[in-house]
Copies of this chain bind each other. A is one copy, B any other.
Amino acid sequence: MINKTVQNAEEAIKDIEDGMTLMLGGFGLCGIPENTINALVKKGVKELTCISNNAGVDDFGIGLMLQQRQVKKMIASYVGENAEFERQLLSGELEVELIPQGTLATRCMASGYGMPAIFTPAGVGTEVAEGKETRNFNGKEYLMEMAFESDFAIVKAWKGDTAGNLVYRATARNFNPVMAMAGKITIAEVEELVEPGELDPDQIHTPGIYIHRIFQGKNYEKRIEQRTVRQK
């Protein structure tokens, strides 16, 4: 098998440059590529366009990149829970494009599936439809939305093998598989990196063909945004 292993996040992002477009997996703080985000903050690469469902919180996730003013434009479906984000947005430092969550996911998948555009009813009749082609199929209106590609897609999986095959855990899966397919270069960080043959071929969520670089991350914090419990 082709070995996709790199040593660490620093090596994985060595050619990420100012002005690039990055996709980052995760939903809220769940399933985000913590190690790679930290490395991007350390590297200080700037003027980035980030495509991610959310923008983290002030002191975690993409919020850390916002604090360092590394993000020029954020493409997301929901950006609450982030005061610095709001400040930069209101001051005009940060550009934001909001996209329906399903449209975001499907535009990524379209890229991985080699489909230049998809049709979705989401946003028909709203400001999301402005400037977009609409089309009627079987009496229902749809928007044509274009596939999303990024210079780098950065995803986080639970386990991966050196051939790049990935397995996600619980709802930390979310956007990671669809973004993994949409990077010109895709970086995967995993909690546990194993040898080829240790993952069951039937149980792989993202086949290694979509992954260009993989490394085992460390010190995962896995912060919980809304700890909600019941009492025994």
Residues of chain A whose beta carbon lies under 8 Å from any beta carbon of chain B? 106, 113-121, 137-138, 140, 142, 167-170, 173, 201-203
**Complex Cα–Cα for A119 and B163 (A):** 30
Q: Which residues from B are CB-within-8-Å of A115?
A: 106, 118-120
Chain B residue at minimal CB-CB distance from A142: B116
**Complex Cα–Cα for A167 and B168 (A):** 16
Question: From DSSP, what is the main secondary structure of chain A's interface residues?
Answer: mixed
**Complex Cα–Cα for A113 and B121 (A):** 12
Q: How far is the CB of A103 from chain B (nearest CB, A)?
A: 11
Instruction: Determine which of B113, B118, B203 lies in contact with A203 in the assembled complex, contact meaning CB atoms within 8 Å.
Output: B203
**Complex Cα–Cα for A115 and B118 (A):** 7
A202 x B118 contact (CB < 8 A) = no
Q: Which residues from B are CB-within-8-Å of A119?
A: 115-117
**Complex Cα–Cα for A189 and B115 (A):** 32
Q: Which residues from B are CB-within-8-Å of A116?
A: 119, 137-138, 140, 142
Q: How far is the CB of A192 from chain B (nearest CB, A)?
A: 14
Q: How far is the CB of A177 from chain B (nearest CB, A)?
A: 12
Chain B residue at minimal CB-CB distance from A113: B106
B120 x A169 contact (CB < 8 A) = no
Q: Which residues from B are CB-within-8-Å of A117?
A: 119, 137
**Complex Cα–Cα for A137 and B116 (A):** 7
**Complex Cα–Cα for A140 and B117 (A):** 12
